[in-house]
Amino acid sequence: MSLSNEEFYRIAKLPPYVFAVVNEMKANLRAAQHDVVDFGMGNPDGATPRPIVNKLVEAARNPRNHRYSMSKGIPRLREAIVERYDRKWGVKLDPNKEAIATIGAKEGLAHLMFAVVGPGDVVALPNPCYPIHQYGVTMAEGTPCILPMNTPDEFLNRLEDVYRKEVKKPKAVLISFPHNPTTHTVELDFFRHVLNLAAKHGSMVIHDFAYADLGFDGWQPPSILQIDGAKEHAVEIFSMTKSYNMAGWRVGFVLGNQKMINALGRIKSYLDYGNFQPVQIASIIALRECEEETQKICNIYQKRRDLLVNGLNRAGWAVEKPKGSMFLWAPIPERFKAMGSLEFSKQLLEKALVAVAPGIGFGPLGEGYVRFAFIENNHRMRQALQGIKHFLNS
């Protein structure tokens, strides 16, 4: 029997990648020498701070660092993330039992799903959402319980309904604030409610804290681990990507509940040998010596937010300023809504040479929106705004 007619089990569970349509169009336009301004992917354009790069170069020259490392991260790296949590959020963690390094937050989340979710386990999560949240559950054979994220309060009300009405209670609740793609934000009371539900029903809580350092206008995103007793039920995923402009370095952490972290460590011991050790050593410098850099990076995103939001509003596209994250979740202008987010994104790309992420790519409840990422400099943002204004007025 030929393999060509056989569908692989887990691949068959994954839907077509909506973003691929826009990506292909973008590639074709660039191949034809068109200058596309790309807001599609949350891929930071800024340079990694110089002290981190210098340490990487120094460590990479040492042959002792060329061998296999530790799958859970070298001790000093785990100590450094624990120290930062204590300094910034007042959270006390044991670096040996309550912290593990991962090869990026995405890998950490996916492998955590494999470690703690089994066939048929229900995982409650918002929609729209970052795709790996839903499909990480699916690939781990769990059952995603999709709840609307029009507002955090609505999500919480629907979560309470699930616990009250459904026979099979969620094994886990997977959340992320500031939220991608909607940019919704919450305060500690929201986390307190979620943790109370988890404690009552014996659920796990997983908080993806990818935008931990991207709060605007003086607002600081809270950590779920700031809640007393959170570690009894919750873990938090922290990423170096946005805080330190370290997207390609692939360094993340899972912090909190000892049992969940131990399970993730067991899975990782079979799957990887940890990050390249010079990358881990350089990440220690980031966590211990580059706090000012995180604020500079945040300030750049805030200025870009202001430029984009003000420009869109002047062009007649009504949008509101997000309080955190590196995104703008923009409702499609009324007269274009009927075409849907994918077709609107294609039109914007073809006629304004501006690439955005169609909301439908984040789930069915993302329809009617597109997402801008603040990943182009001010000059190119102004260029994009001119193209958008012309497109809207034509």
Q: What is the DSSP string of 35-94?
A: --EE-SS----SPPPHHHHHHHHHHHT-GGGGS---TT--HHHHHHHHHHHHHHH-----
Digit-coded pLDDT (tens) for 190-199: 999 999 999 9
Q: Mean pLDDT across the stretch 166-175?
A: 93
User: pLDDT class for 15, splitting at 50, 70, 90?
Assistant: confident
Give the strand pairing for 204-209 and 234-239.
parallel
Digit-coded pLDDT (tens) for 131-145: 899 999 999 999 999
Query: What does pLDDT average to over the chain?
Result: 94
Q: Looking at residue 4, what is its pLDDT? A: 67
User: pLDDT class for 2, splitting at 50, 70, 90?
Assistant: low
CA 113, CA 140: separation in Å to the nearest integer? 6
* pTM (two decimals): 0.95
Q: Looking at residue 21, what is its pLDDT? A: 80
- SS3 of residue 267 by DSSP: helix
Query: Exposed e or buried b for every residue in 157-189, given b needs 16+ CB within 10 A?
Result: ebbeebbeeeeebbbbbbbbbbbbbbbbbbeee
Q: What is the DSSP string of 150-162?
A: SSHHHHHHHHHHH
CA 299, CA 51: separation in Å to the nearest integer? 19
Dihedral sign, Cα of residue 176, residue 177, residue 182, residue 186: positive
- SS3 of residue 209 by DSSP: strand
Query: What proportion of the chain, given as a percentage, has pLDDT over 70?
Result: 99
Q: Looking at residue 167, what is its pLDDT? A: 82
pLDDT(18) > 80: no
User: pLDDT class for 10, splitting at 50, 70, 90?
Assistant: confident
